[in-house]
Amino acid sequence: MPQTQSKIDQRDLPPFLAACRGLPVPHTPVWIMRQAGRYLPEYRKVREKADFVTLTRTPELAAEVTLQPLRRFDFDASIIFSDIMTPLQGMGVALDFKPGPVVDEPIRTRKQVDALRPLLPDQDVPFVMESIRMVRSELPSKVPLIGFAGSPFTLFCYLVAGKPSKEFSEPRSFLHAEPAISALLLDRLADAMVVYLRAQADAGAQALMLFESWGGLLGPQDYATYGMPPVRRIIEGLSDLDVPLIYFANQGGANLRLISDLKVDVVGLDWRVPIEDARRILGAGKAVQGNLDPAVLFAPKDTLCRRIDDVLADAGSGPGHIFNLGHGIWPETDPDAVARLVDHVHERTSDSK
Amino acid sequence: MPQTQSKIDQRDLPPFLAACRGLPVPHTPVWIMRQAGRYLPEYRKVREKADFVTLTRTPELAAEVTLQPLRRFDFDASIIFSDIMTPLQGMGVALDFKPGPVVDEPIRTRKQVDALRPLLPDQDVPFVMESIRMVRSELPSKVPLIGFAGSPFTLFCYLVAGKPSKEFSEPRSFLHAEPAISALLLDRLADAMVVYLRAQADAGAQALMLFESWGGLLGPQDYATYGMPPVRRIIEGLSDLDVPLIYFANQGGANLRLISDLKVDVVGLDWRVPIEDARRILGAGKAVQGNLDPAVLFAPKDTLCRRIDDVLADAGSGPGHIFNLGHGIWPETDPDAVARLVDHVHERTSDSK
């Protein structure tokens, strides 16, 4: 793909989108997962007046908190403020956030899977698309907006467990006790995420990210059986779109060989995977995103900068690296550390690529 | 090490201890993490009359629940019923189990680290050694008893966070905010675990296991800085003992290259690490233990047997494999599945090695 772009196209692309496509960039683009969130006092202020669900369902508020980090920091991308569980509410799943998603009736039967409605984004979750349109109208052209969804297996974990969990033993045992119902539910979720992500792209999202938050709980054999097929179904369902697809493979180190077969543009890496190893396994056709440990933001300035340099060195001097944390930023983080991070990545990589 | 043992020694060794030392075995030995626990009705019955802490501190009860699974299943090893946090209570840390360990005053200062008492096992936790002596007197000679401790970083996680956590963001950020206090605490914990494990061996434990439950939260660089050095300190402190040392590296896939440098006899693998890859990285000098996903125990019998065969095939036909789950067994597991597992491992591997 990189080779088919003309020089003029390359110069027109914002650095984030260029990096997604493995093209040369003026500096390594940087954004961070959960950059709109509780570590920002201005976010907490909005949350004092509106609960989390209200925030995700009110375009003015979702757009406001999406834009907050962009006013403070020189991020190269924004990501729409929403939750991976939001579209499931549109499919008829009753759930609440306490603060993690809690499902009223965890899915355990074929009947419950059959009762799920196909997602009609413009009818079920119009506020997400409206948020995207509002953010796009305010963002400078050099800062692309990312839309996102949860991976089918990750959504499956919450739907079957019914609540957040450390090990997700119920969904993981359900896979083995009820493989047919599991596969059906995973397919339904994949179909819904196809139309959901497509609607986000239609509304203006310039890249799409799939959060495989819990796929790393599956060993390679079960990831191949249950994790990958619905992801492949999503990728195929979106193959006509001209927006880069990012796949965040949290805890996915052991599954990278399988992931290398997925036709995604970018693979997001958690902080435990050496980027150099990942790039070798994934091959030259994929860009990578990551992967500073969010804990390192608590280090003194010198250490923080050294650790950023380590990540940059690990990523190498070739194109196709988007700097990010290896996981979402923690609420206790000092925003000044984020400013340091963004500036240091830009300074260190400007004109070097 | 294998080559220095005589033929006669080999035949005298129980299969579990032979496998720990990479020696030929009549069948692949098998035991499972948390084999004494809530999935057994007889365990739940004891727990109706005594809470968890009472169980760990009353040798008759600890010995009873340690022996329960051995009466049902043909396990090749037993592990003393206790908790990794138990010795910390002996060092002056006030904590309770609700049901995970909750520390009254999470450790965050140098003063708190200095206030920790060196562990005197026979005075602080005599009941553990008494439990070991009681179990040893009742176990047949072919079933060795494993003593254990938590790794310093894992204990550090609970002490600094003060409670169980999914991400342990507090201890992980504390490492970077307070590296000197962190290193001091980790060393103190290592020193305590040396005397604790030594006391268990003196009381009759025939193998020692170190649970690195949370070391997999550290990327390779931080694992090398904070995770490994205190483990090495423990290994060196026990180097004169003639009992095999097992290091369970939960979520440790990314750190196996570093772990290959540790002078342990056995590395325990979680269910996400292909055993063949791990053996190649760890080298021929180490045995491996694992690693069936505990979720697979919920599969129908045929699938369960096939998946056991997959693990055995992954481990290869050479010596130095101890069959185990890749994580502790879940309380909801059917004990019949465990019986199937043990029998199938024995049948499939008898006289084949």
Q: Kindly write down the DSSP assignment for every residue of B110-129, as one continuous string.
A: HHHHHHPPPP-HHHHSHHHH
pLDDT of A4 higher than 70:
no
B170: closest chain A residue by CA: A295
The pLDDT value given to residue B11: 63
B291: closest chain A residue by CA: A219
CA gap B306, A213 in Å, rounded: 28
CA gap B4, A350 in Å, rounded: 59
ipTM value for the complex:
0.92
* pLDDT bucket at A12, cuts 50 / 70 / 90: confident
Is the dihedral angle over the CA atoms A150, A153, A155, A161 positive or is it negative?
negative
DSSP B329: P
B255: closest chain A residue by CA: A272
Q: Is A83 a catalytic residue?
A: yes
By the CB < 8 Å criterion, does A294 face chain B?
Answer: yes
Q: Which residues pair with B268 in a beta bridge?
A: B248, B289
- Rounding to the nearest 10 degrees, give the CA dihedral for residues B194, B198, B201, B207: 20
Please return the burial class of A173, using the count of CB atoms within 10 Å of its CB with bins 0-12, 13-18 and 19+.
buried
Q: Is A348 a catalytic residue?
A: no
How many CB atoms neighbour CB A241 within 10 A?
14
Q: Which domains does chain A have, with CATH numbers?
A: 2-349 (3.20.20.210)
Contact B22, B4 (CB under 8 A): no
Q: Calculate the CA A281 to chain-centre distance.
A: 21
Which residues, in sequence order, are CB contacts of A86 under 8 Å at separation 6+?
Answer: A56, A57, A125, A128
CA gap B243, B102 in Å, rounded: 32
CA gap B298, B275 in Å, rounded: 22
CA gap A59, A127 in Å, rounded: 6
Asked whether the beta carbons of residue A295 and residue B271 sit closer than 8 angstroms, the reply is no
By the CB < 8 Å criterion, does B52 face chain A?
Answer: no
Please return the burial class of A237, using the count of CB atoms within 10 Å of its CB with bins 0-12, 13-18 and 19+.
middle
Model pLDDT for residues B72-97, shown as the tens digit of each residue: 999 999 999 999 999 999 899 999 99
Percentage of residues of chain A with pLDDT beyond 70: 96
The pLDDT value given to residue B9: 56
Asked whether the beta carbons of residue B298 and residue A332 sit closer than 8 angstroms, the reply is no
Contact A217, A168 (CB under 8 A): yes
The pLDDT value given to residue A98: 87
**pLDDT, averaged across chain B:** 95
3-state secondary structure of A307: helix
Q: Is B38 a catalytic residue?
A: yes
Model pLDDT for residues A137-183, shown as the tens digit of each residue: 999 999 999 999 999 999 999 999 999 888 999 999 999 999 999 99
What integer is the mean pLDDT of A41-51? 97
By the CB < 8 Å criterion, does B219 face chain A?
Answer: yes
Which residues, in sequence order, are CB contacts of B222 under 8 Å at separation 6+?
Answer: A293, A295, B175
Q: Return the H-helix or E-strand segment holding B245.
A: strand B245-249
- Return left, alpha or beta for A92; rule: phi > 0 is left, psi -120 to 50 is alpha, else beta: left
Mutate to test the interface with A, among B165, B168, B176 (most CBs of A within 10 A): B176
**Residue B255, preceding bond cis, omega within 30 degrees?**
no
What integer is the mean pLDDT of A196-201? 98
Asked whether the beta carbons of residue B173 and residue A327 sit closer than 8 angstroms, the reply is no
* pLDDT bucket at A6, cuts 50 / 70 / 90: very low
Q: Which of B239, B277, B241, B240 is nearest to B260 (CA)?
A: B277
How far from each other are the two terminal CA atoms of chain A, in whole angstroms?
18
The pLDDT value given to residue A11: 63
Query: What is the pTM for the complete model shown?
Result: 0.94
Positions of chain B with pLDDT lower than 70, given as ranges: 1-11, 352-353
By the CB < 8 Å criterion, does B169 face chain A?
Answer: yes
DSSP A117: P
Q: Is B117 a catalytic residue?
A: no
Q: Compute the nearest-CA separation of B342 from chain A (Å).
A: 19
What integer is the mean pLDDT of A324-332? 97
The pLDDT value given to residue A99: 84
3-state secondary structure of A337: helix
What integer is the mean pLDDT of A63-92? 97
The pLDDT value given to residue A294: 98
CA gap B319, B301 in Å, rounded: 27
Q: Compute the nearest-CA separation of B124 from chain A (Å).
A: 32
Q: Calculate the CA A321 to chain-centre distance.
A: 15
